[in-house]
Each structure stands twice: as structure tokens, then as C-alpha cells.
Chain A
Amino acid sequence: METLIIILVGVLTAVAIYLVLSRNLIRVILGTAILSHAVHLLILTMGGLKTGTVPLLGEAETVYVDALPQALILTAIVISFAVTAFILVLAYRAYQELGTDDLEEMRGANDE
């Protein structure tokens, strides 16, 4: 199971990297969103999969899955949402101001 998920993570990462390397701003944003999906899955897998029951105390069983990765992922989901929302709006504004979504055309000013 873990092997399969890790391979899936690899596929997701490859797709994400390819999108991030693109010139098109929307693809870059999509790429970061997919990259965070991949990372969440990876963290969860690293804690071991299905090794116990839901981490809620009080159930009859005494073996729980690792709760720590879940807590980390919960934080990560929210942060990545915030970042995605921010860069989406940034892309929107950049397009409004610059009239392009092509990163090759968006260049820092030559200040030297």
C-alpha cells in the first residue's frame, strides 16, 4: 500500500514540477496546488498507513494511527489554501496591470 501511494506521490510531483516550470502563470499556480497535494500524501504515508484505528481516544481499541502527521497536514492544508488564494489574486492583478500571463514576458526591471 505504502509503495503504491509513494509512486502516486511521485507521479503527482512530476506533474506538478512540469506545470510549475511552465511559462503560463495559471499552470504554475495549478502546479503548486498539486505539489501540496503530493506533499500531504507523502507526510501521511511516512507515518505509516492503516497501522491502527482513528486517533480518537475512548474507542475500545488501543492502537491508533500516527496522529502527528495528521496534525501537520491539517496545518499544511490551510496554509497552502491561503497561499493558493493569494497567488491566484496576484495572478489576476498582474494580468490586469501587465496584460500578460506569460512569465517570460514578466521580468523584473533592469535596475543595474
Chain B
Amino acid sequence: MYLIISAILLPFAAAALIPFIHNKLGRLNIGWLALAAPLSLFAFFLYQIPAVSAGRTFKETLHWLPSIGIDMTVYLDGLSLIMALLITGMGSLVILYSIYYLSSTDSLPHFYAYLMLFMGAMLGVVLSDNLMVLYVFWELTSISSFLLIAFWYHRKNSRAGAQKSLLITVFGGFAMLAGFLMLHMMTGTFSVRQIAVELTQYTSHELFYPAMFLVLLGAFTKSAQFPFHIWLPDAMEAPTPVSAYLHSATMVKAGIYLVARFTPVFGGNSAWFWTVTLVGLITLFWGAFCAIRQTDLKALLAYSTISQLGLIMSLLGLGSAAIHAGDSTEGAIYGLASFAALFHMINHSTFKGALFMAVGIVDHQVGTRDIRRLGGLMAFLPFTFTIALIGSMSMAGLPLFNGFLSKEMFFTASLQVLDMEIFGLGNWGWIIPVIAWTASVLTFVYCAIIVFRTFFGAHKPEKLDKIPVEPPMGMLISPAVLAILIVAIFFFPNVLGNHLLRPALSGVLPGITGAAPHIEAWHGFIPELWMTVGIIVFGSILFISFRKWKGIYNLIPAGWTFNAAYTSFLNNLEKNSRYFTSSYMTGHLPHYFTYIFSFFVFVAGGTLMWSGAFHIDVSNDSPLSVYEVLLVAVMATAAVAILFAKSRVSAILLNGVLGFSIAIFFVLFRAPDLALTQLVIETVTTVLFLVCFNHLPDWRKENSLKHVKVRNAIIAVTGGLTIVLIGLSVNSTDMFETISSFYENSYELTGGDNIVNAILGDFRAFDTMLEGLVLFIAGIGVFSLIRLKVRKGPKNDEN
């Protein structure tokens, strides 16, 4: 039974079928059918929870390329399950939402086919155990993300955003592939679990660190970590359901998943700890800092996603210390960070999904998401306001919402660092809680901006395109479900913790017991609580005084952003490659011939010369006769004479001399069939030349420049010399047994006495048939070229 593999393939099958079913449906929205796939998969993965939370894992293998260790091996453990539930659960909600969000003028079959393609690929990423298979699915998610960002491809920004996301994520994916290959070189396997077991022996291998950083590069680009975050805000050109699904809940979590999955492989290493933690913290801070200045609600959410992804990433980095500590009390304490990472990943999907959908509703109902035009919408969109409020408060880490729980764990984990005496943390550890707290204050500020700038303040109807009203019920269901989850998780966190997070944690930190805590909202008046209070106080002050300090955003020069660097890099690449290509692709046939023959002489001939392949031995030559020497002299003279021919008739006749001399050679060299054919063909060719030349301009002297002539002469002479050397070397060596004696049985095999004819008509009859086809095609070409009359339309303006 390949149930899990079928689960991965189901969305692909749906993607393939959607375009065909679409036409048959009439007025029914194809989205309702598409919804069936994630819903049934969600049910399937829910059904796996009891077994997985009891510690069972499932493995299925479908052999693909077993000889090189590439098999479709899927592995379902707690970590994969939590991701699969996220993918299918969010997928269901987003599809439901999109049915109401997209207009009937959009190409729905494309949208749902791409979405299904993404869902299948994403499931493949989180369920594959084999790294090569994982890589294929990984790139498929990049491609489907590209297609979805460019869904409204008539917009220039959509195309640019799609290109940017593809270039950056595929660059990272490619680096990751190199990292995977290095892992394979060290351990000899592509299985992640196998590598985790075996790599401990190779920590001093020279490829260990390159492999680690390349894999991280893949994870960081995909999860929009600093400085690769620049693609995510531009990806907001996608329809909002796509932003909610791919660019906040699932695809950008692929990098998080990868880091979590590779924690057992690289965890416990100080480079891994510092890189993942610091990149995560910088991203957390920078994303929050940039989010505040945004005026487009979706861009604000994009930067907040970047920031939250950084938070999760830094938690995974902090948690990897547990592997260094091993299965001990310290290990269990450090492992809390990994648990918090998984917990926050779920929480982030709920509140960010709700927020994206709420912003989508605002955009849909009001016609803009620019906060300078919005305000006072609470009275018009009360449901949407409630959802946005819940989402924002959860994101800000306020109590009564799930974000509070994971945010508090984040503070706990960052404070624990102060007690760690590993990885040089004694001196620099204080940096971590400071950045964490500062970034959280900024998070509070942008959460306040979302709520207050959109829903409070003065309503500005003159700046809006539409009169705001609540959307249809169907559009509110999905965000409402998420909002309910946000609150439900706060009150019953251990349902999630015991059934999903605990088994998932054992996938991140195998062998470390007791790291998964009993989640509680109230711990007494501990430092974490005071940190939250401080965030509320300072955050409120900063929000109220925003106008006073927003000048600091102008301190960064415009040309110094990563976006500017990306754009100028791309422009220069385009300009220089065009310049380089057009410098040799001139459109002149003689130039191209020059390249071809120079390549032959200098590269092919030069290599042979350099490797000492030329070897000349004339002792086996057959004897010379007078006729042959004469004939050779005649041909050589005729050939050279062509170069100096004064008229075209003499050139053609000299060519004829060559052809007929070759016919005589064929006679001398015991090839009667060739001689006959050559005679006929040469006669026809000469006639053809003569007829054609009647219509062609006069034979003129070459009017090329002198240095061009000299260069051509050098290429010609060296080309001839190369041929001579190759010919002589081949003639002097006898590396292979001849296969020609086989054909001497032609009478027994084919009933033919003439071996040449038997080869052509029997042994290689198929070739001969195709040769006839070539003649036929050439005939059609000749015929149509002669009959072709170019239609002269109205004369176009040449300039």
C-alpha cells in the first residue's frame, strides 16, 4: 500500500485534471471541486495523528533509480505530519476563501491547477526522505510559486515579482543541491535519516562546512531570511489567497522545515548554532523595522512574515544547542527553543493567515490596501475588524491569544542563553535577548498600525473607490476559523502540544527526552512577563510618537538597499551578456564559419596535438602506381587552380575535374558502384551549376581585406594540415578489429552478391530509406524555392 505516496500524488492528479473538468462544469466554480483534494488529505493526515503521537513512523519506498540511491522514499514522522496538516489544512481554508475572492474573469482553472501543483510539491518536500526527491519537489514549489505570483501576468509588477522570487529561490535551491551532493559524497546515501546517523563521523571532513552552509543557503532563500528576504514583499503581487497560503503559511516554511529536518544532522555544531540563530535574529529585527514604514497593508504583512520567519529560525538555532548538550537536563531545557519554534510556526500560520485574509477582504471590499487612504472601517466591516484585531493581538504576543504562549517561550529560550557556557555564549549571549525584545517592540508597533490605521480614525470616503460593506459569508468562514483557532490554542495549548508538537519535536531533536513542556499561560511574575509588559508600554509610546521618529527611515540612502543591489546586478547582467553575445553573434555567415573551423583546428586539433595523439607510420601503405600519382597531381592542381580561376565557367569545370577524377579513383580503388554513382552525380551537378550560374552574378575577385584573406588562408592551411595529421594517425594505428568481414556473409544473410548493395539495401535499409526521404525533402525545397513568389504587400516604412 502506497498511501502516503498516493497522498502526494493526489494534488498532482487534480492539477492535471482541473483544466479538462473545468469546461464540463458550466456555472459551478471549479474551486469547489479543487477543495475536495486538500479536505480529503487533511482528513487522511488527521487520521494518522493517534499513531504518530504514539511514536510510530511510516515509511514507504517506491524504487526509482535504485542503482544511484535515488528512490521515492517517503517518511511520515511527527515533523512531517505537522507540516502536512498545515499544508492541507491551510490549503482547504485558502481554497474556500479564494472561491469568493477571485472574480469570474480570472482564469480559475489555471489558478487551481497551479495551487494543486504547489500543494503536491509541498507535501513532497515535507514527506520525502530522499534528498534528491526532496530537491525535485523543492524546485517544483519555486516554480508553482512563480506561476502563482505571475497569475495576473498582465501587470508588470507581477511579472517582476515572480522573476525575482524565482531567481532567488532557485539560486538557493541550486546551492542546496550542491550541499546535498556533498553530503552524499561524505556519507554515500541520500536518506536524511541515514545521513543524520552517519555524518557524526565526518565532522572534520573538508566538505562538512561547505555542505552545511549550502544547505542553509537553500533554507534561507526559501524562508526569506536576511539578506534574501527581498523577494517576499514583491511576491505580494500574487492574489491574496496565494499570499496567505504560499507566502506566509507554507512555502516560506519550507526553509524552516529544512533547518528543523537538518538539526539532527548539523545540530550541536557551533557554526550551525550561530549562523541559524543570528541570521534569524537579524531577519526578525530587520523585518519588523521595515514593516513599520510600509503603507501597503500586504507589504507590511510581508515584512512581518519575514520577521516572524526570522523568529522561528532563531528559535531553531537556539534549540540546536540541545543536541550538543545531549540527553540531559540541559538538553531538555535548551530543547524548549525547538519546541517553541514548532509551536510558533503553527501559531504564525493561524494569525498571519487570518490577517492576510482580513486584508484581502479590505482590499476586495474597499478597493485599496493603502493605509493612507484607509481608516475608520470598524463601523463598516465589524467582522473583518474582529478577525484582524485577533490576528494582530496574537502577532503582537498579547495574552488570550496563541501568539502570547509561543512568544513567551521565545523569551524564555533567549534568556536561557545567558546561562549557557557553550559556543562562546558567555561573552556574547546577552545580544540575543536584547535583539529579541527590541524586535518584539517593533512587532507591537506594526500590529498597532494594522489595527488602528485601518479600522480606527477618520473614515475617508473621498479616497476610496467603493462604499465598504461586509463581504459574502463564504469569504469570512476561513478567517473566522483561523481566529477561533487562535483563541482555542491559547486556552487548550496542550491538545496541540501533546498530540502534534511533542512527536514533531522528536523529529527535530531525536533522543532528547523531556524537552516538550506542558504549556501554561501563567508562570507567575517572571522576567518573560515583564518583557511583555515592557513591549506593551514601549510599543505604545513608539506607536503614538511614530511621526516624530519616522525620519530615521530616510537615513538609509536609496541606492544602498538590497533591492537596489539586486536590480543593478540584474540590469548589468543583462546589459553585459547582451554586449558580450552581440560581440560575436554578428549575423555574418563568414564569421560563423570562421568560428567553426577555428574551433576545429585550434581546439580539436590542438587537443590532439597536445595530448600526443598524432602518430605517423607509413610502412603499411599499399604501393603506388604511375596513374595514381598523376591523378593526385591533376586533382591537387585543379583544386588550387579553383582559387585563382578568372571566370565562373572555369571554376565550375575545375570542380568537375575534381569530381570526375574521384570517379577514376573509385575505379582504381575497387569501388565500381561508387564510380558509377559519382559519374552520374558529377555530371548532373556540373549541369546544375552551369544552369544556375546563368542566373547568378558574375564571378568577381574576392574583395575582402588583406588581413581577412591572410587569416582565412591560415585557417584553411592549418585545417587541411589537421585533417592530414588525423588521417595519417588513424591510418597508422589499428585499435579496433574490423567489422567489415561480417558483411562478407552477405550472400548467406541477404542473398546478394554485391556486398555494397547488400549493405545499402538490406543491412542498412532503413538508413537508405531515410536517405530517400532527404532527397525528397531537398526536392520539395528546390521546387518550392523556384516557384515561391514573395508576396509584396503594401510597402512597410523601412525606418
Interface, chain A (partner B; CB < 8 A): 1-15, 17-28, 30, 33-34, 37-38, 40-42, 44-58, 64-68, 70-71, 73-75, 77-79, 81-86, 88-93, 95-97, 100-101, 103-104, 106-108, 110, 112
* B635 and A12 contacting across the interface, CB-CB below 8 Å: yes
* B670 and A55 contacting across the interface, CB-CB below 8 Å: yes
* CB nearest to B689 among chain A residues: A88
* A71 to B: closest C-beta gap in Å: 4
* A56 and B688 contacting across the interface, CB-CB below 8 Å: no
Give A23 to B452 CA distance when docked, in angstroms. Answer: 75
* A65 and B681 contacting across the interface, CB-CB below 8 Å: no
* B756 and A10 contacting across the interface, CB-CB below 8 Å: no
Given A68-B740, A71-B764, A108-B587, 6 additional A-B pairs, CB 8 A: A4-B632, A24-B699, A49-B622, A88-B692, A89-B785, A104-B590
> Top 3 A-B pairs ranked by shortest CB distance?
A14-B720, A10-B724, A82-B778
Which of B590, B671, B779 is most buried by chain A, counting CB atoms within 10 A of its CB?
B671
Residues of chain B with a CB closer than 8 A to A81's CB: 681, 684-685
If the complex has contacts A70-B674, A82-B778, A101-B697, are A93 and B786 also in contact, measured as CB distance less than 8 A?
yes
Residues of chain A with a CB closer than 8 A to B786's CB: 89, 92-93
Residues of chain A with a CB closer than 8 A to B779's CB: 82
Give A73 to B663 CA distance when docked, in angstroms. Answer: 12
User: Can you list 30 pairs linking A and B with CB atoms under 8 Å apart?
Assistant: A2-B731, A3-B728, A6-B727, A10-B720, A10-B721, A15-B720, A18-B643, A18-B716, A19-B643, A20-B593, A21-B594, A22-B712, A33-B659, A37-B662, A46-B727, A56-B672, A56-B753, A57-B754, A57-B755, A66-B738, A66-B740, A68-B759, A75-B760, A84-B688, A85-B688, A89-B692, A91-B696, A93-B786, A101-B697, A104-B590
* B655 and A30 contacting across the interface, CB-CB below 8 Å: yes
* B603 to A: closest C-beta gap in Å: 15
* A93 and B788 contacting across the interface, CB-CB below 8 Å: yes
* CB nearest to A110 among chain B residues: B587
B636 within 8 A of A: yes
Residues of chain B with a CB closer than 8 A to A10's CB: 720-721, 723-724, 727
If the complex has contacts A68-B740, A104-B588, are A2 and B712 also in contact, measured as CB distance less than 8 A?
no
- How many residues on the B side are at the interface (Cβ–Cβ under 8 A)? 98
* B790 and A97 contacting across the interface, CB-CB below 8 Å: yes
Give A20 to B756 CA distance when docked, in angstroms. Answer: 32
* A55 and B696 contacting across the interface, CB-CB below 8 Å: no
* B748 to A: closest C-beta gap in Å: 10
B181 within 8 A of A: no
* A84 and B588 contacting across the interface, CB-CB below 8 Å: no
Residues of chain A with a CB closer than 8 A to B578's CB: 112
Contact of B628 among A1, A15, A20, A53 (CB under 8 A): A1
* A15 and B639 contacting across the interface, CB-CB below 8 Å: yes
B648 within 8 A of A: yes
Residues of chain A with a CB closer than 8 A to B671's CB: 44, 54, 65, 70, 73
B104 within 8 A of A: no
* A4 and B696 contacting across the interface, CB-CB below 8 Å: no
Give A12 to B632 CA distance when docked, in angstroms. Answer: 11
B569 within 8 A of A: no
* B670 and A34 contacting across the interface, CB-CB below 8 Å: no
* A21 and B774 contacting across the interface, CB-CB below 8 Å: no
* A15 and B635 contacting across the interface, CB-CB below 8 Å: no
Contact of A17 among B587, B624, B670, B716 (CB under 8 A): B716
Residues 650-704 of B contacting A (Cβ, < 8 Å): 651-652, 655, 658-659, 662, 665-666, 668-674, 677-678, 681, 684-685, 688-689, 692-693, 695-697, 699-700, 702-704
* A81 to B: closest C-beta gap in Å: 5
Residues of chain B with a CB closer than 8 A to A6's CB: 723-724, 727-728, 731
Residues of chain A with a CB closer than 8 A to B719's CB: 13-14, 17
Residues of chain B with a CB closer than 8 A to A64's CB: 744, 755
Residues of chain A with a CB closer than 8 A to B689's CB: 88
B739 within 8 A of A: yes
Give A13 to B637 CA distance when docked, in angstroms. Answer: 13
Contact of A33 among B685, B702, B790 (CB under 8 A): B685
Residues of chain B with a CB closer than 8 A to A95's CB: 695-697
If the complex has contacts A33-B685, A92-B695, are A17 and B756 also in contact, measured as CB distance less than 8 A?
no
Give A1 to B623 CA distance when docked, in angstroms. Answer: 6
